[in-house]
């Protein structure tokens, strides 16, 4: 989904819709749906690669700047920091990625999906949103453990190329397909999201796509592809 435009809520404005996007996406880490807002930190499970050497986990920190909106305050009530920690040949986890709050999209959350069959690449989903606006932007995050580099394909550009015009979808990163492509699920935008974003949905119903990591080209497929399941998930310690 495309990012929302900036919009501040003043003290006499109508209440935000349950401090979105938590109400419609309970897996996202926020400071709470209603006042008083509180800070909290959540760790993901540890994903162990097939080689049993590479391990990774995510940590999402939601920091409440105010328990509720004071009169005249137009800044954010909550901001997020998402971190990725990875261990390789040694057992020590090191910080490899940090997503800080942006001026508009001050919320973010990280979900780890799977390791590639060769244990080289870690696939994740990075969500970003503006508090007090509907919807969240979900994108692909790929970590290359060999070169310690990251790739974040431009899904908006890939959609425009696939459909021949500018449009948007709510994406979820599903995993690696059997041939190694990245499988995405796309849902149409809600009417509220279309209005806020000034964008139309590419499709009127759920759609599935395969994204080529090397070319970042995306093709529509008629049904949900079969997924690999390479990583082992362990509870955080």
pLDDT tens-digit profile, the chain (237 residues): 433 323 333 333 334 444 566 556 778 999 998 999 999 999 999 999 999 999 999 999 999 999 999 999 999 999 999 999 999 988 899 999 999 999 999 999 999 999 999 999 999 999 999 998 888 999 999 999 999 999 999 999 999 999 999 999 999 999 999 999 999 999 999 998 888 888 899 999 999 999 999 999 999 999 999 999 999 999 987
Alpha helices in 23-104 (DSSP H): none
pLDDT score of 90: 84
User: Within 10 A of 44 (CB to CB), how many other CB atoms are there?
Assistant: 21
pLDDT score of 5: 28
What's the residue count for the chain? Answer: 237
* Torsion sign, CA atoms 68, 26, 229, 206: negative
Beta bridge partners of 14: none
pLDDT score of 69: 94
Q: Whole-structure pTM over 0.75, yes or no?
A: yes
pLDDT score of 24: 62
pLDDT score of 22: 55
Alpha helices in the chain (DSSP H): 155-163, 191-197
Beta strands, E only, 75-136: 78-87, 94-99, 107-115, 121-129
Task: Evaluate whether 50 touches 117 at the Cβ level (below 8 Å).
Answer: yes
Backbone angles phi, psi at 160, to 5 degrees: -60, -35
Q: What distance in Å separates the CA atoms of residue 8 and residue 196, rounded to the nearest whole number? A: 13
């Amino acid at each position: 989904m495309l990012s929302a435009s900036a919009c501040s809520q003043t003290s006499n404005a109508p209440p935000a819709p349950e401090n979105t996007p938590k109400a419609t996406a309970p897996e996202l880490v926020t400071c709470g749906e209603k006042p008083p807002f509180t800070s909290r930190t959540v760790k993901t499970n540890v994903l162990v690669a097939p080689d049993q050497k590479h391990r990774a986990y995510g940590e999402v920190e939601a920091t409440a700047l105010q328990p509720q909106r004071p009169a005249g305050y137009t800044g954010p009530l909550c901001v997020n920091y998402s971190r990725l920690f990875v261990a390789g040949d040694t057992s020590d986890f090191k910080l490899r990625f940090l997503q800080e709050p942006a001026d508009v999209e001050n919320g973010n959350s990280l979900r780890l999906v799977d390791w590639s069959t060769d244990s080289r690449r870690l696939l994740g989903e990075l969500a970003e949103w503006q508090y007090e606006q509907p919807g969240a932007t979900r994108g692909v995050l790929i970590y290359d453990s060999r070169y310690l580099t990251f790739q974040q394909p431009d899904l908006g550009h890939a959609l425009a190329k696939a459909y021949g015009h500018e449009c948007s979808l709510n994406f979820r990163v599903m995993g690696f397909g059997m041939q190694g492509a990245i499988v995405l699920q796309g849902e149409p935008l809600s009417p509220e999201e279309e209005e806020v974003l000034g964008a139309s949905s590419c499709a009127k119903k759920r759609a599935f796509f395969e994204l080529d990591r090397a070319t970042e080209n995306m093709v529509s497929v008629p049904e949900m592809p079969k997924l690999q399941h390479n990583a082992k998930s362990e509870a955080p310690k």
